Amino acid sequence: MLQDSKVVVALDYADEASALNFVDKINPSQCRLKVGKEMFTLFGPEFVRKLVARDFDVFLDLKFHDIPNTVAKAVAAAAELGVWMVNVHACGGKRMMEAAKAALVPYGDKAPILIAVTVLTSMEQEDLAQMGVNITPAEQVIRLAKLTKESGLDGVVCSSQEASMLKESLGKSFQLITPGIRPAGSAAGDQRRIMTPVEAVAAGSDYLVIGRPITQAESPMQVLTEINESLVS
Ligand SMILES: O=c1ccn([C@@H]2O[C@H](COP(=O)(O)O)[C@@H](O)[C@H]2O)c(=O)[nH]1
């Protein structure tokens, strides 16, 4: 299926019917779909299978963070679901990330893209300081992104505010998946390191993860269409 859009819609709905009502109105050329902790916990792998069966590229955003053996098994289970992308926390360390990557080798070119979360886009300097991390979010992001690349992964989750710096130091092919995207005028909510869709793409984001500005809009389809049109160069 031809995938044109850089938008990954975060399907953070509390009920399956609302999620499928939105999905039924779109096609895979308009966006990819992200299933996170809320919907996976509520509706499990069967919900993911339904989206994959509709030909959508699915990002399974469960942010695995555990011992290497457990994460490797979880990532392989994600590959069995046929998802397009899966992630772990870079804070799990190099051995954990290497184990996750190795677990995908048997899937060859059917393996999902494997990325690692650096610093959550909801976090700012004060949040890091409270955890004893006394550097800026950007410094922590580059540190974890370098470790992710050394571990053989395909890219990172970061904010678009770090995108140009990461592209410059880690190269064009290292994928940058950026939540914390807010079209002008939409509420930031709990997000802290944000950018508009147009700014994010200009900064070097490869994929834009967008949830509430689309899913909570009066007309989600209209917002998605407007964002896609704003990104056509
Ligand atoms: O650093 C991160 C990592 C993941 N997320 C996820 O992205 C979406 C964002 O949703 P919005 O409604 O657009 O804020 C959400 O599912 C998060 O779990 C993130 O925001 N930041």
Over residues 174-227, the pLDDT tens digits come to 999 999 999 999 999 999 999 999 999 999 999 999 999 999 999 999 999 999
pLDDT band of residue 1 (cuts 50, 70, 90) is very low
pLDDT at residue number 3: 53
The answer to whether the Cα torsion of 180, 89, 80, 175 is positive or negative is: positive
Active site residue 154: no
pTM recorded for the entire structure: 0.97
- The CATH H-level superfamily of 7-227 is Aldolase class I (3.20.20.70)
How many whole angstroms from 111 Cα to the centroid of ligand 1?
23
Please tell me whether 134 is known to bind a ligand. no
> Residue 180 — left, alpha, or beta (φ > 0 → left; ψ -120 to 50 → alpha)?
left
Q: From the CB of 157, is ligand 1 less than 6 Å away?
A: yes
Cα distance between residue 232 and residue 82, in whole Å: 29
CA-36 nearest atom, ligand 1? 16
Q: What is the mean pLDDT of the chain?
A: 97
Higher pLDDT, 69 or 2: 69
